[in-house]
Amino acid sequence: MHIKIYFNEKPLFLTDSITPEIEPFAHHDDAVLIDEFSHGGINSMIHEMRQDKVHAGIYLHNNVEELRKAFWKKFIMIKAAGGLVKNEAGELLFIFRRGKWDLPKGKLDDGETLEECAVREIQEETGLQQVELKNHLITTWHTYDESGHHILKETAWYLLSAPKKQALTPQTIEQITQIEWGAPADLNNYVSNTFPAIIDVLKAAGY
């Protein structure tokens, strides 16, 4: 088993073995591998992942849950949810935000479930009102710094359906400038300019 955390677009794998997904990274000169479980090792890995010359990290430990708990203590956790919306023609909904194709998502409000958050964020960011939640796809993690704090955002992603004949209204306050329904045959137009975590969501949905 493993957990993948993105530092910008660089993956850090917390893992108990070198899986086929991880194996290609293990032989790169620009990857860091640590297999000693200690607070010093964790601090060292976080430091290395912030270096421009490092493009991936692998932290090996036989108890991934123990490793996860130790890593989580180094960050302020924020929970979020979002979704991959599919219409009756099999097209997928993409938003264009800050120069990248993305999927609608946002932070969890107090008293809200992750499922409710995913639906609300899609409605707010795209203008879609008829949205039906289907199932959970994947949970992703990425880090960023804000006001001097190290943040770890945990995003739950869901598959949803929506009729195509609805008005699409970009939420400009969130810097969304375009919304498009993309056919599966045209996915490369989107994945060539998106985030690795979004590619993970698409893979989880079978694309």
pLDDT tens digits, 147-188: 888 999 999 999 999 999 999 999 998 999 999 999 999 999
Per-residue pLDDT, 87: 97
Measured distance CA(46)–CA(69) in Å, rounded: 14
Question: Looking at the structure, do residues 95 and 191 belong to the same domain, yes or no?
Answer: yes
**SS3 per residue for the chain:** CEEEEEECCEEEEEECCCCCCCHHHHCCCCEEEECCCCHHHHHHHHHHHCCCCCCEEEEECCCHHHHHHHHHCCCEEEEEEEEEEECCCCCEEEEEECCEEECCEEECCCCCCHHHHHHHHHHHHHCCCCCEEEEEEEEEEEEEEECCEEEEEEEEEEEEECCCCCCCCCCHHHCEEEEEEECHHHCHHHHCCCCHHHHHHHHHCCC
Question: Looking at the structure, do residues 68 and 110 belong to the same domain, yes or no?
Answer: no
Per-residue pLDDT, 29: 85
Q: Cβ atoms within 10 A of the Cβ of 156, count? A: 21
Residues of the chain with pLDDT under 70: none
Question: Looking at the structure, do residues 106 and 184 belong to the same domain, yes or no?
Answer: yes
Q: Give the CATH number for residue 89.
A: 3.90.79.10
Angle between helices 39-49 and 64-72 (to 10 degrees): 70
Domain range for residue 27? Answer: 2-72
C-alpha triplet 160, 164, 165: angle, nearest 5°: 135
Q: What is the pTM of this model?
A: 0.92
Question: Looking at the structure, do residues 85 and 68 belong to the same domain, yes or no?
Answer: no
Question: Looking at the structure, do residues 33 and 103 belong to the same domain, yes or no?
Answer: no
Question: Looking at the structure, do residues 35 and 114 belong to the same domain, yes or no?
Answer: no
Question: Looking at the structure, do residues 88 and 9 belong to the same domain, yes or no?
Answer: no
Per-residue pLDDT, 146: 84
Per-residue pLDDT, 107: 96
Question: Looking at the structure, do residues 108 and 161 belong to the same domain, yes or no?
Answer: yes
Question: Looking at the structure, do residues 174 and 95 belong to the same domain, yes or no?
Answer: yes
Per-residue pLDDT, 132: 96
Question: Looking at the structure, do residues 85 and 49 belong to the same domain, yes or no?
Answer: no
Are 113 and 40 contacting, i.e. CB atoms less than 8 angstroms apart? no
Per-residue pLDDT, 27: 84
Measured distance CA(174)–CA(162) in Å, rounded: 22
Question: Looking at the structure, do residues 10 and 62 belong to the same domain, yes or no?
Answer: yes
41, exposed or middle or buried, with CB in 10 Å at 0-12, 13-18, 19+? Answer: middle
Are 206 and 159 contacting, i.e. CB atoms less than 8 angstroms apart? no
Are 152 and 77 contacting, i.e. CB atoms less than 8 angstroms apart? yes
Per-residue pLDDT, 123: 96
